Chains A and B, each alone.
Chain A
Amino acid sequence: MSIQHTNIYAIALHHRFQWEEAQDCFVILFPEGMVKLNGGAGEVLNLVDGKRTVADIVTELKAKFSDVPDLDKDIVGMLELAIEKAWLRQIN
């Protein structure tokens, strides 16, 4: 599976992504399960909205976390994991 910078993703059907105040993290909820996302993973998926391209997400996060090296690789890695877990669907 290769992720192109022009790809656009959205949260998969029957999944919900939301911020949880009590847990202090983003979560993904789906039938019979949930996953608490760590800070970085949550930041990435928070920008996956069915409109932004992968390139948009990378640009935004690079601006926000300018001191983090190799951010592109981390972001793509996180997206790959999310796709493998079927948390995301590609819409273009």
Chain B
Amino acid sequence: MTQASLGQSVVQKEIQAQNNGVAANVTQTQPLWLLAEVTYRCPLHCAFCYNPTDYDKHTQNELTTEQWIQALRDARRLGALQLGISGGEPLLRDDIEDIVIEAKKLGYYSNLITSGVGLTEKRIQAFKDGGLDHIQLSMHDITEEINNFITNTKTFELKKKVAAMIKNHGYPMVLNVVIHRYNIGHMREILEMAEALGADYIELANTQYYGWSLVNRSQLMPTKEQIDEAERITNEFREKQGSKMKVFFVVPDYFSDRPKKCMNGWGEVFMIVTANGDVLPCHSARVLPNIEFPNVKDKGLDWVWNDSPAFNKYRGDSWMKEPCRSCAEKEKDLAGCRCQAFMLTGDAEGADPVCSLSPNHHVITQAIEDSRNPAIASQPIIFRNDKNSKAIIAGELNDRVKEFHALP
């Protein structure tokens, strides 16, 4: 799973940006986007993965095909339209074909979010026949070296083959590239590669720090200068390129003065069903204290969305504390990300520390400083794999997570 849909996603930006002649709700009371994280198993071991570091606990109790189909039906009835099939690597399940057929029947616009590993001619043909609408492929760099390093796998050549396969089957090509210290210097080349592959859309998703990427934050974070340069190159490319390939640049929140309007608001448009059936309003919500997230094995999605204490907890603004509560800008960002606030400050109702008005903003400036400190930044990357997940669960890597208020 890549990071495209974290924070203020492209969908939300489109909803806001294209609001000319077009109605968009300010407060959405129905889910528009269902993300199905069908498995946490993954053949890649990306250092920046946002999946929970204790995912190993959730790999044995995945939902069945029938349970997924029921979840799809229930969410569609609530109004969900966009379906992301993600993970982990969704292709590790052999029932994605069945899920795709059901999605088509229900009228979803469906998207397979994949590393490409496991995509064969036979499977892509079945997806096409079944009515899958598009495939989003993660790419990592123009160099084999960086691709293989950051994913901790030898997948560079495979990704190029899969890109061609996607194109040959008449799919729009959507590439997602997570940006970090190791590839940010190759922005122009990455854009040129995407163009050469015939991409219709490319998302340059600056790493946001959740899950494994939070553990590896000091190792992954680029400098402000690098990000500015990357944005400049992206804008230059856009101007030159015209409208042929759509380029989305997801701005990294650590380097802004104000937080992102995370998920466009808690329980506003997004609903995530995870591999084991837990239903979350955002990707990393499980880190939050004092919330019991419902599971589709026990509760229907209608109740989850409309009535569950979890989905209602941070709706509206009555839960906000100062300085957010009386802030003139609170509607713009809804106090930012609850998970980030809790993980980094220990206060889930406080302002996202990314905000320069937060009394805890120093934790962000400290993180930026740490990433420039060779003694810290040279610690080894902890790659996302079962062994490391088990080690983190067992407390063996406490040194790398002790500054956070929950296990990332």
Q: Which A residues are within 8 Å of any B CB, using their own CB? A: 13-14, 16, 18, 20, 22-23, 25, 27, 29-38, 40-41, 77-78, 81, 85-86
Q: Beyond the given A23-B81, A36-B23, please list 12 additional residue pairs across the A-B interface where CB-CB is below 8 A.
A: A14-B133, A14-B200, A31-B172, A31-B174, A31-B201, A32-B136, A33-B10, A33-B13, A33-B14, A34-B11, A34-B109, A35-B22
Q: How large is the interface on B (under 10, 10 to 19, 20 to 34, 35 or more residues)?
A: 35 or more
Which residues from B are CB-within-8-Å of A86?
243
**A20 x B79 contact (CB < 8 A):** yes
Per the bound structure, the CA–CA distance linking A78 and B22 in Å amounts to: 10
Chain B window 1-15, contacts with chain A (Cβ cutoff 8 Å), 1 for yes, 0 for no: 000100001110111
Minimum Cβ distance to chain B for residue A12 (Å): 10
**A36 x B22 contact (CB < 8 A):** yes
Which residues from B are CB-within-8-Å of A33?
10-11, 13-15, 18
Which residues from B are CB-within-8-Å of A27?
81
**A36 x B25 contact (CB < 8 A):** yes
Per the bound structure, the CA–CA distance linking A40 and B20 in Å amounts to: 12
Beta-carbon nearest neighbor of B14 in chain A = A33
B308 contacts partner chain A, Cβ-Cβ < 8 Å: no
Per the bound structure, the CA–CA distance linking A64 and B235 in Å amounts to: 45
Per the bound structure, the CA–CA distance linking A38 and B18 in Å amounts to: 12
Q: What are 30 of the A-B contact pairs (CB < 8 Å)?
A: A14-B133, A14-B171, A14-B172, A14-B200, A18-B107, A22-B30, A22-B77, A22-B79, A23-B79, A30-B109, A31-B111, A31-B134, A31-B174, A31-B200, A31-B201, A32-B203, A33-B13, A34-B11, A34-B14, A34-B15, A34-B81, A34-B82, A34-B109, A35-B18, A36-B15, A36-B22, A36-B25, A38-B22, A41-B21, A77-B21
**B20 x A81 contact (CB < 8 A):** yes
Per the bound structure, the CA–CA distance linking A40 and B203 in Å amounts to: 32
**A29 x B14 contact (CB < 8 A):** no
Per the bound structure, the CA–CA distance linking A31 and B199 in Å amounts to: 12
* Contact for A78 among B21, B203, B243, CB less than 8 A: B21
Chain B contacts with A in 1-60, Cβ cutoff 8 A: 4, 9-11, 13-15, 18, 20-25, 30, 32
Interchain pairs with CB closer than 8 A, number: 82
* Contact for B23 among A16, A25, A31, A81, CB less than 8 A: A25
Q: Which B residues are within 8 Å of any A CB, using their own CB? A: 4, 9-11, 13-15, 18, 20-25, 30, 32, 77-79, 81-82, 107, 109, 111, 133-134, 136, 171-172, 174, 200-201, 203, 243, 248
Minimum Cβ distance to chain B for residue A77 (Å): 7
Per the bound structure, the CA–CA distance linking A36 and B33 in Å amounts to: 13
Beta-carbon nearest neighbor of B171 in chain A = A14
Minimum Cβ distance to chain A for residue B242 (Å): 11
Minimum Cβ distance to chain A for residue B101 (Å): 17
Beta-carbon nearest neighbor of B176 in chain A = A32
* Contact for A41 among B22, B78, B111, CB less than 8 A: B22
Per the bound structure, the CA–CA distance linking A14 and B109 in Å amounts to: 10
Q: Contacts A14-B133, A20-B79; is A37 near B15 (CB within 8 Å)?
A: no
Which residues from A are CB-within-8-Å of B18?
33, 35, 85
